[in-house]
């Protein structure tokens, strides 16, 4: 999924007030499972329940 097609396409430095902090909620948007950090494509998270991939900002990039 190209970043430009995401609901929040801005880069992290455009989305935050204090870039040294990143807060994400570790719940899969599909089924509510807990994604595994640093395990998905795009340097982010991987949900083992159905194979969803999230980027480091927590945006869904691949999967249900």
Cite the active site residues.
Answer: 50
Can you spell out the DSSP letters for 28-60? -TTT---PEET-SGGGSEE-TTT--EE-TTS-E
pLDDT of 57 over the 70 cut: yes
Q: What is the pLDDT of residue 48?
A: 92
pLDDT of residue 59: 83
Supply the pLDDT for residue 1: 66
Measure the CA–CA gap between 25 and 38, rounded to whole angstroms.
14
pLDDT digits over 9-52, tens only?
877 777 777 778 777 778 887 788 999 998 878 888 999 998 98
Q: Is 9 helix (H, G, I), strand (E, B) or coil?
A: coil
Residue 54 has φ and ψ, to the nearest 5°, of -125, 145
1-64 folds as: Rieske Iron-sulfur Protein (2.102.10)
> Any idea of the CA torsion for 24, 30, 42, 18, to the nearest 10 degrees?
-20
Q: Give the model's pLDDT for residue 24.
A: 74
The domain spans of the chain are 1-64
């Amino acid at each position: 999924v190209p970043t430009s097609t995401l609901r929040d396409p801005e880069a992290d430095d455009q989305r935050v007030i204090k870039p040294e902090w990143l807060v994400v909620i570790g719940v899969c948007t599909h089924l509510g499972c807990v994604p595994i950090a640093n395990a998905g494509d795009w340097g982010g998270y991987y949900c083992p329940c159905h194979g969803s991939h999230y980027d480091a900002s927590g945006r869904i990039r691949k999967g249900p």
